[in-house]
């Protein structure tokens, strides 16, 4: 086995923990699991009795699995492709859903673990999620990967029309709504510009249109059209100098802890009704000074509604493939931001513990101070469309004051119903990334959470 450290960060965003207001926010990408803990341990009330209806008798662990969330609405329940559970260091046992998206098993142990498989129909995309907790957590919710739920593709339509009152200096249009954020070059002729936005999902949305003189400069004008119903292709003309338009102001964004050679990607979205919206974040980040002093565009109070949020995803990385340091925040009222990235982490130590009946790794890395959760993600890919992953999570209680996380992938291949197509692929270089997530903390009227990840390549 050969292991060498690699530097970088996942470009995709995964929402983690119980970060208020960011639950359900995911931006897809390989190597980024949508699986997330969305509820905290219960408050110590009475444990449910699942003795009725064919469930186990006595106190139980209840695991609820949900479809991936794409708006702020509660996501529906969805079942995993396959599941198993374990109590303390006992044997793994297959676990059938008691009902759609609901799994229960007895809590007669100090610790428990649940394995949930999400696999596409052809098994080209598979993830085995292993969540380890203590008996203090009796109710647990996770969002599954998209391939586990095979949702019906949403209806999509096109928005088109004319922008009028466009300043002659404008060269760029930003568009955002709850499901997406995008930008495009905008040719302007005598204050008029045609636009077309395709792939807009059906629904009623707040639509934001923003102008820039240059893709790397700040927004100069913004229009937010509230409550626009999209059920077919629509023509919507927008007067960017009319009563709905405004000139954004800006606030400071100081990023500390940037390391030499880091690429800094500070994305901030002004979101209404979902995880995305118009991009208000800094468009150009200079390489120097090490701690960049930036600004982000802000929306006037008169143009805001109560549910609007600034959602920030700030990443410092040297390689986008695997690891890096991230700050996520969510707030309603803009303010000057002075944020510090966590220190860089050492690479995890990864060894191969078995090649058959399935390839398994043991991963060791230091516990992050003030962490709410630690994760390990191992992936093998034979091409861009075939990715097999194993994803493990540990909450703070499950580590019980340990200074090191020791994650050993469980042997599940001997269990009934297991499919060998879910195994990591032997003979293929794997990436293994270890991540620590700090406990979320307050940020003005919102919440902030920092994380740090480091990975290695492993050639079994």
Are the CB atoms for 296 and 282 separated by under 8 Å?
A: yes
Distance (Å, whole) CA 253 – CA 267: 11
pLDDT at residue 45 in the model? 30
Q: In 10 A of CB 73, how many CB atoms?
A: 11
Rounded Cα gap, residues 42 and 276, in angstroms = 30
Both tokens of 2, joined, read 């050969």
Write the CA distances from 78 to 44, 48, 72, 84, 124, integer angstroms.
Answer: 27, 21, 17, 16, 20
Nearest residue to 330 via CA among 214, 196, 442, 446: 446
**Collapsed DSSP state (helix, strand, coil) of residue 164:** strand
How large is the C-alpha radius of gyration of the chain? Answer: 23
Report pLDDT for 58: 59
Burial 309-318 (b: 16+ CB within 10 A, else e): bbbbbbbbbb
Give the strand order in the sheet containing 60-66: 102-106, 60-66, 139-143
The span from the CA of 366 to the CA of 444, in Å, is: 31
Strands laid side by side in the 349-354 sheet: 349-354, 360-366, 404-408
Residue 398's H or E segment, with its range, is: helix 396-399
Full-model pTM: 0.85
Q: What is the torsional sign of CA 201, 282, 300, 236?
A: negative
Name 197's bridge partners: 159
The pLDDT assigned to 139 comes to 94
pLDDT in tens, the chain (460 residues): 444 333 333 323 233 333 333 433 333 333 333 434 433 333 233 333 333 334 445 579 999 999 887 666 788 899 999 999 999 999 999 999 999 999 999 988 899 999 999 999 999 999 999 999 999 999 999 999 888 876 677 889 999 999 999 999 999 999 999 999 999 999 999 999 999 999 999 999 999 999 999 999 999 999 999 999 999 999 999 999 999 999 999 999 999 999 988 889 899 999 988 889 999 999 878 776 788 999 999 999 999 999 999 999 999 998 777 789 999 999 999 999 999 999 999 999 999 999 999 999 999 999 999 999 999 999 999 887 889 999 999 999 999 889 999 999 999 999 999 999 999 999 999 999 999 999 999 999 999 999 999 999 999 8
CA–CA distance, 80 with 178 (Å, rounded to integer): 27
Calpha distance 365→430 (Å, rounded): 17
Three-class SS of residue 122? coil
Q: How far apart are CA 77 and CA 38, in angstroms?
A: 13
DSSP 7-39: ----SSEE--TT-TTTTT-EE--TT-----B-S
CA distance 87 to 231: 49
């Amino acid at each position: 086995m050969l292991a060498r450290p690699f530097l970088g960060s996942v470009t995709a965003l995964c929402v983690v923990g119980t970060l208020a207001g960011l639950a359900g926010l995911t931006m897809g990408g390989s190597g980024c699991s949508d699986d997330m803990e969305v509820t905290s341990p219960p408050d110590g009330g009475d444990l449910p009795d699942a003795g009725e209806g064919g469930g186990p008798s006595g106190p139980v662990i209840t695991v609820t699995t949900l479809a991936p969330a794409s708006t702020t609405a509660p996501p529906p329940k969805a079942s995993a492709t396959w599941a198993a559970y374990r109590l303390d260091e006992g044997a793994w046992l297959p676990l059938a859903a008691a009902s759609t998206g609901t799994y229960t098993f007895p809590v007669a142990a100090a610790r428990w673990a649940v394995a949930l498989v999400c696999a596409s129909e052809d098994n080209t995309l598979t993830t085995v999620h292993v969540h380890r907790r203590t008996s203090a957590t009796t109710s647990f919710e996770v969002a599954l990967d998209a391939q586990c739920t095979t949702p019906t593709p949403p209806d999509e339509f096109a928005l088109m029309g004319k922008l009028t009152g466009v300043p002659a200096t404008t060269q760029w249009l930003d568009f955002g709504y709850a499901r997406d954020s995008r930008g495009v070059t905008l040719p302007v002729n005598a204050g008029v510009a045609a636009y077309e936005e395709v792939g807009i999902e059906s629904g009623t949305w707040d639509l934001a249109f923003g102008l820039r003189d240059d893709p790397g400069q700040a927004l100069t004008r913004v229009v937010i059209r509230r409550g626009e119903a999209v059920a077919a292709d629509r023509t919507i003309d927008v007067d960017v100098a009319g009563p709905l338009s405004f000139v954004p102001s800006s606030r400071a964004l100081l990023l500390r802890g940037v390391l030499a050679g880091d690429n800094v990607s500070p994305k901030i979205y002004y979101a209404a009704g979902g995880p995305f919206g118009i991009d208000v974040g800094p468009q150009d980040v200079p390489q120097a000074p090490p701690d960049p002093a930036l600004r982000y565009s802000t929306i006037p109070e008169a143009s805001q509604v109560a549910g609007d949020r600034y959602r920030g995803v700030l990443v410092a990385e040297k390689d986008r493939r695997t690891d890096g340091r991230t700050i996520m925040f969510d707030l309603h009222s803009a303010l000057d931001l002075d944020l510090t990235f966590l220190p860089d982490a050492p690479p995890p130590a990864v060894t191969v513990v078995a090649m058959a009946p399935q390839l398994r790794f043991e991963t060791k890395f230091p516990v992050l101070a003030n962490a709410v959760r630690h994760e390990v993600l191992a992936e093998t890919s034979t091409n861009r469309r075939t990715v097999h992953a194993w994803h493990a999570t540990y909450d703070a209680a499950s580590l019980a004051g340990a200074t090191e996380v020791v994650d050993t992938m469980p042997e599940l291949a001997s269990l009934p119903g297991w499919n060998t197509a879910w195994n990591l692929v032997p003979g293929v270089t794997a990436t293994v990334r270890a991540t620590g997530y700090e406990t979320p903390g307050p940020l003005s009227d919102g919440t902030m959470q920092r994380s740090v990840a480091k990975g290695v390549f492993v050639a079994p």
